[in-house]
Structure 1
Amino acid sequence: MALGPRLEIRQSQSLVMTPQLQQAIKLLALSNLELETHVAEALEANPLLEIGEVSRDAGDSETTEAPQEREADALMDGALESGDSALDIDTTALDPERAPGDGGDWGRAASTGGSGEELPDLENRAGAGPTLAQHLTEQIGTATHDSREALVARRLIGEIDEAGYFIGDLALLAEEMGIARSEAERALELVQTLDPTGVGARTLSECLALQAREADRYDPCMARLIDNLDLLAAGDFARLKRMCEVDDEDFADMLAELRSYDPKPGLRYGGGSDTAVVPDVIVAPGRKGGWDIALNEDSLPRLVVNRDYYLELREGCIDKRSKAWLGEQLTEASWLIRALDQRARTILKVAAEIVKRQSGFFTEGVIAMKPMILREVAEAIDMHESTVSRVTSNKYLACPRGTFELKYFFTSGVASGDGDGASAEAVKLRIRTLVGAEDPRKPLSDQALVDQLNSEGYDLARRTVAKYREAAGIGSSAQRRRQNKLAGLG
């Protein structure tokens, strides 16, 4: 077949991301602090924008448009539709951080950086407990009765970083304190017996080995696996299985056990500075029952177009280039004002659906939380999951029970006796309650927790209970027994 040039007509569809649409999607995902920075940059770049008062009805589900020039409305009619669909598109294919299908079951990973920890009331998060150094120092007195060893151990605690790793040089520290290195090593071993397990390790392998010993899983096979983390990182599973002399099932179990360990145990404790959280949505009890949901006007930027300055500049434009520039500035200013209003209404719409579905949380607390995923909320308000995902990122809700990130209300669920299911947060709360009421001398094992929860109508397996216990920051029965003994309770 001969090759040659020819003309061809093809019809295809594609999603075109205009600069305005890209800006709208970006605004939707910004936190309050990031939005404040973005607005400040826009005010500096566009002479037609200024800070003004925006009238909003706190009890309304829709916010009113900011006052602006009629010319701006006319220019923007074709650029931005008034409906919510203007910002509601499937952008998963355009967002490298989200894979197709991601977001159906949010769980806790997205809201906690994948650590599996729950999100407590944000008003009590930062600075709520002792620092790691304080926590470790408090345990020294019960861990040893040797005052000299305790003194050396306290000095070594000063060389532990915020992640829980010992970063000092034992030889130099021993020389500085005028003791033998062997004595310094014994003091470090003492520090490594303190809570949290894994603290005082010098390497990741040592940290994981300490946790494996605590869990009574440090057998020769696990030791070989921990000693060859480089092969694990490279994905050379076949070689690791041969070295550990285990089959596929045992190897999978070892990997699951290894992933359950905390590579940075020190981060469970404080030490950072308090950070203020400004809620985007305020929920308050309604006068006639139910809940009143309103946007926090203090967190909303108040932008308007300076009408007088625009008219003055327009009269002074004598050439096409100046007029074109002024038109561009007006278009950009008007688009930003409308996009900000659209962002506010979208946040309110999503928050209202969350409050509706999680009404039990606001009346009874965490124990009444229901399983909820992004897809359910997206379908209820006729939006795409990616839109709901962006709306709930770095957005906060204030209610009588505290201030919470919107993602806190999205959680996986387990079967329960009433048939409605129970959220993972409710299960964690129940586990904390049971552990809090246990006999310090006889901590409840995971199987005992399973039996108790099953008797209450929760359909849970032992592995699931262990996962929720660890996610709630509760140690194993062996760890709790040791802590109770150190505290003089056991």
Structure 2
Amino acid sequence: MQLYTAQSFAQRQSLVVTAQLQQAICLLQMPNAELSSFIESQSEENPFIELRLPPAPAPASALPRGVAAAADDDWDRVASLAADPGPSLYVHVTEEIARLGLSAGEARAAAVFLDALEPWGWLGQPLDVLAARAGLATDEAEALLARLQKIEPAGLFARTLAECLRLQAEEQGLLTPLFAAVLENLPLLAAADLRGLCRACSCDMDELKAVLRQLRGLNPKPGAMFDAAPSPQRPPDLVVTRGPEGWRVDLNRSTLPTVVVRADAAESFARSAAPYVGERLSVARWLARAVEHRNQTTLKVGVEVVRRQRGFLEEGLSRMAPMTLREVADAIGVHESTVSRVSSGMMIATPQGTFPLKSFFTAALSAREGDTAGSAAAVRHRVRQLVQGESPEDPLSDDAIAKIISDEGVTLARRTVAKYREQLNIPSSVNRRRQALVTGAL
């Protein structure tokens, strides 16, 4: 046996994930606001990068026929502004405590109770714990709590749901013996056991329903009204409008950032800094190209999605067509993972509302021969429609819903209806009937 050494040469190709490639991949899934923040942070480190908003409109000549890019359709910024929410719960209660005329010691103890107030208006800690922290005896803490519970709106500083509702009922003159008995048996009401509640309260069904109508007028979370102002809606990254020649898609110009390379600034640097200037200029030019590539890829994905979802744009969720990432990727000539990254964080404004771009990718369900396959999103919408239109006295079972949708052309199993119903947070038919009893719909 002989041992010897030898050298051989071979060529091979492999993809090296460089730092710039990783950054380019991250740029694909950044929404406009996040992209602006990223470019701004880069401009702080690189003197040759400048963030500018908004850029010039993109040309529409390269888009497919029938789906064009809009020229200057900016998102209405005024519509995304939140209304003035007014004072917060903490500020409101602080002002009300100052009007109670408490002594200095009581005011310090009241501050302990205020710190324990939950956003919905209840106390978040037991009274004995708060009394020990405030240096009060139990009876003193009870007396202070009774004064704090006089603060408007009624129900603040309650320790339980029953106490919160009791405070409001007392203020409105509703606290009859029957009303108090109902509050003592709230678990039966939560289980929609109205017959059991009648037995526990020694009343008939008509008397109980009269109390329940009064109970539904109370607010179980009185503190939530101070923090209930809606947060500003995030502006979309893509805007869809209908023009004379069909549907048009555009990048949202009011929030879309662009990178300006300040090459002229390099002349102000000394020759000794030439290596630094060259490296920073290279980074700036690469970032400008990467952002432009991100914008063009986003626009291509949006255009293809709109082309495939014209039925949804014209008629709503009931016409949502099945569509996969691979179909869009093959149509625009990119990898499936690229479409997934682009659609993961983007929002698109349509005449039907503003939706995550990802929500347009939905699986196809089997259909009868000759019928068009429906999408999972359209079927979920149909399930919601059927439940909303059902009779409260005779709610539709999962089997009944499956039969109705199957008769309409999409083959659907009962377990699929149950799965979609749970995704939509719709209770079962039994629980829906119980809720109808509690809410007085029956």
Q: What TM-score does the superposition give when structure 2 sets the normalisation length? A: 0.62
Cross-structure match for 1:203: none
In structure 2, C-alpha distance between the alignment counterparts of 1:160 and 1:422, rounded to whole Å? 46
Cross-structure match for 2:240: 283
Cross-structure match for 2:387: 435
Q: Is the 8 A contact 1:283 1:293 kept in 2?
A: yes
Q: Is the 8 A contact 1:285 1:292 kept in 2?
A: yes
Gap change, CA 1:272 and 1:311, over 3 Å in 2: same
Letter in 1 for 2:322: P
In structure 1, C-alpha distance between the alignment counterparts of 2:340 and 2:18, rounded to whole Å? 21
Counterpart mapping for 1:362-373 below 5 A = 362-373=313-324
In structure 1, C-alpha distance between the alignment counterparts of 2:438 and 2:399, rounded to whole Å? 24
Gap change, CA 1:167 and 1:61, over 3 Å in 2: farther
Indicate whether 1:337 and 2:288 are aligned: yes
Counterpart mapping for 1:387-466 below 5 A = 387-417=338-368, 418-466=370-418
RMSD, matched Cα: 3.8
Cross-structure match for 2:430: 478
In structure 2, C-alpha distance between the alignment counterparts of 1:14 and 1:410, rounded to whole Å? 31
Residue 8 of structure 1, CA deviation: 5.5
Residue 344 of structure 1, CA deviation: 0.2
For residue 292 of structure 1, the aligned residue among 236, 239, 248 is 248
Indicate whether 1:376 and 2:336 are aligned: no
In structure 2, C-alpha distance between the alignment counterparts of 1:403 and 1:422, rounded to whole Å? 22
Letter in 2 for 1:281: L
Q: Is the 8 A contact 2:366 2:373 kept in 1?
A: yes
Which structure has the larger Rg over C-alpha atoms?
2
Cross-structure match for 1:14: 14
Cross-structure match for 2:58: 57
In structure 1, C-alpha distance between the alignment counterparts of 2:61 and 2:318, rounded to whole Å? 30
Cross-structure match for 1:469: 421
For residue 190 of structure 1, the aligned residue among 174, 186, 189 is 186
Counterpart mapping for 1:239-258 below 5 A = none
Cross-structure match for 2:74: none
Indicate whether 1:323 and 2:274 are aligned: yes
Q: CA offsets per residue over residues 41-63 of structure 1, 9 Å max, x none?
A: 1111111122447433364547x
Residue 12 of structure 1, CA deviation: 3.9
Letter in 2 for 1:342: H
Q: Is the 8 A contact 1:279 1:395 kept in 2?
A: yes
For residue 337 of structure 2, the aligned residue among 386, 392, 404 is 386
Q: Is the 8 A contact 2:55 2:253 kept in 1?
A: no
Identity, % of aligned pairs? Answer: 41
Cross-structure match for 1:25: 25
In structure 1, C-alpha distance between the alignment counterparts of 2:191 and 2:255, rounded to whole Å? 41
Counterpart mapping for 1:205-220 below 5 A = none
Letter in 2 for 1:190: L
Letter in 2 for 1:458: V
Residue 194 of structure 1, CA deviation: 3.3
Q: Is the 8 A contact 1:59 1:292 kept in 2?
A: no
Length, aligned pairs only: 315
Cross-structure match for 1:357: 308
In structure 1, C-alpha distance between the alignment counterparts of 2:305 and 2:280, rounded to whole Å? 38
Gap change, CA 1:168 and 1:11, over 3 Å in 2: farther
SS of the equivalent of 2:348 reads strand
Indicate whether 1:302 and 2:258 are aligned: yes
SS of the equivalent of 1:422 reads coil
Gap change, CA 1:168 and 1:476, over 3 Å in 2: farther
Gap change, CA 1:345 and 1:449, over 3 Å in 2: same
Residue 429 of structure 1, CA deviation: 1.5
Letter in 1 for 2:31: S
Q: Is the 8 A contact 2:39 2:51 kept in 1?
A: no
Gap change, CA 1:190 and 1:45, over 3 Å in 2: same
Cross-structure match for 1:86: none
Letter in 1 for 2:57: R
Gap change, CA 1:360 and 1:345, over 3 Å in 2: same
Q: CA offsets per residue over residues 423-443 of structure 1, 9 Å max, x none?
A: 112111211221112111111
SS of the equivalent of 1:15 reads coil
SS of the equivalent of 2:190 reads coil
Q: Unpaired segments of 5 or more residues in structure 2?
A: 64-78, 84-115, 131-137, 147-159, 164-181, 193-226
Cross-structure match for 2:112: none
Residue 19 of structure 1, CA deviation: 2.2
Q: What TM-score does the superposition give when structure 1 sets the normalisation length? A: 0.57
In structure 2, C-alpha distance between the alignment counterparts of 1:353 and 1:21, rounded to whole Å? 25
Letter in 2 for 1:437: G
Cross-structure match for 1:138: none
Cross-structure match for 1:136: none
Q: Is the 8 A contact 2:240 2:348 kept in 1?
A: yes
Of structures 1 and 2, the one scoring higher in RCO (CA 8 A, sep 6+) is 1
